[in-house]
């Protein structure tokens, strides 16, 4: 069974890469790209270049709030993925939830489910989604997904437990259409417990000659001096800094500002924006990581080329779903449809 995948808020293609590379050992069960949409032009270019270079017309650069999805009806889908914008649900932000600009955008995923009636869907968002609007937002979203005709299974994935070299926690909601005799089960992290997921292993592998998106960040002498006092795993507030190098910022002691990676652990969460001190820092070299190194922590292959300016690429990488993590989840879905058993765990989110 070949599933044609449609994507909303597709990003640079982390979900799509995981979907199209999902392999359960049976070529009759696989996922292929059908169409995708995103509001950011550079993101769409990146997606086209890496996911569907021979069919760029299948990627629609448009704001979903004004895009006429009925135009896609001649291109039916069997599956839908949507990583709806997390800005208003992230614990890093103000957590406006449904009251923010981005909070209600999940509803376009619900609209697409009702319009296309795919056999299954995958929705992704940050862990903070559970707490937005005192939990009411999450309850509302799940209710609307069920009302669209799906049995839904929400689970908070800790991707570092699945071999990803990054501590990244995301809610993944998988839905199977109610009329289908298929039950999705959350894949267990147990098969990945012996995978080396340290950021040292991810980043020390030599970079291919001429690899894209690997431009270094220019560090000021002051930043270099500050970093030389910060040990692996420490940040600008936990390190023993001289008075003249300390940051005069209150309430940020638990932040990731000028935090250096611990080479013997997965990295902390890759983010897509932020000012000075938020670019992620090497454990031994006094410098920020390059975009290519951040992409490795997100498990993008080295030949995955990101389009746009350096800051645009940083944003794309930070907003993506780890390729390998997505692949594991899609393989579990394919196995469910193929009737293949696999190690699973109970969902860890109580509704």
91-144 per-position pLDDT tens digit? 444 444 444 444 578 889 999 999 999 999 999 997 777 776 667 788 889 999
Over residues 263-300, the pLDDT tens digits come to 999 999 999 988 888 999 999 999 999 999 999 999 99
Over residues 29-78, the pLDDT tens digits come to 999 999 999 999 999 999 999 999 999 999 999 999 999 999 999 999 99
For residue 64, what are its two tokens? 């979903």
- Catalytically active residues, by annotation: 86
Domains of the chain in start order, with CATH, are 2-193+321-345 (3.40.50.150)
The total of other beta-carbon atoms located within 10 Å of residue 8's CB is 24
Over residues 134-178, the pLDDT tens digits come to 677 888 899 999 999 999 999 999 999 999 999 999 999 999 999
On average, the pLDDT of the chain sits at 91
CA distance 38 to 315: 14
CA distances to 121, 127, 218, 336, 343 from 185, rounded to whole Å, are 14, 19, 46, 8, 9
């Amino acid at each position: 069974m070949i599933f044609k995948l449609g994507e909303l808020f597709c990003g640079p293609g982390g979900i799509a890469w995981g979907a199209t590379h999902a392999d359960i050992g049976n070529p009759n069960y696989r996922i292929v790209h059908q169409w995708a949409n995103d509001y950011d032009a550079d993101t769409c270019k990146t997606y086209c270049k890496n996911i569907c270079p021979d069919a760029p017309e299948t990627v629609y650069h448009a704001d979903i709030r004004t895009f006429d999805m009925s135009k896609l009806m001649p291109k039916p889908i069997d599956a839908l993925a949507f990583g709806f914008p997390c800005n208003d649900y992230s614990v890093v932000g103000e957590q406006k939830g449904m009251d923010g600009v981005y909070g209600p955008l999940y509803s376009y995923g619900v609209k697409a489910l009702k319009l296309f009636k795919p056999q299954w869907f995958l929705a992704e968002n940050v862990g903070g989604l559970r707490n937005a609007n005192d939990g009411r937002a999450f309850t509302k979203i799940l209710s609307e997904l069920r009302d669209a005709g799906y049995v839904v299974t929400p689970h908070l994935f800790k991707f570092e437990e699945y071999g990803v070299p990054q501590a990244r926690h995301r809610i993944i909601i998988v839905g199977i259409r109610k009329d289908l005799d298929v039950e999705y089960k959350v894949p267990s992290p147990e098969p990945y417990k012996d995978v080396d997921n340290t950021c040292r292993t991810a980043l020390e592998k030599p970079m291919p000659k001429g690899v894209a998106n690997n431009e270094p960040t220019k560090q000021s002498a002051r930043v270099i001096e500050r970093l030389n006092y910060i040990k692996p795993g420490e940040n600008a507030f936990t390190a023993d800094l001289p008075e003249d190098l300390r940051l005069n910022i209150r309430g940020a002691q638990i932040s990731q500002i000028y935090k250096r990676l611990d080479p013997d652990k997965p990295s902390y969460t890759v983010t897509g924006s932020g000012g000075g001190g938020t670019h992620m820092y090497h454990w031994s070299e006094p410098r920020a990581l390059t975009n290519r190194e951040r992409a490795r922590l997100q498990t993008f292959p080295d030949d995955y080329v990101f389009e746009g300016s350096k800051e645009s690429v940083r944003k794309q990488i930070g907003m993506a779903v780890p390729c390998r993590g997505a692949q594991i989840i899609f393989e579990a879905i394919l196995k469910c449809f193929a009737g293949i058993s696999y190690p699973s765990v109970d969902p860890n989110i109580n509704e």
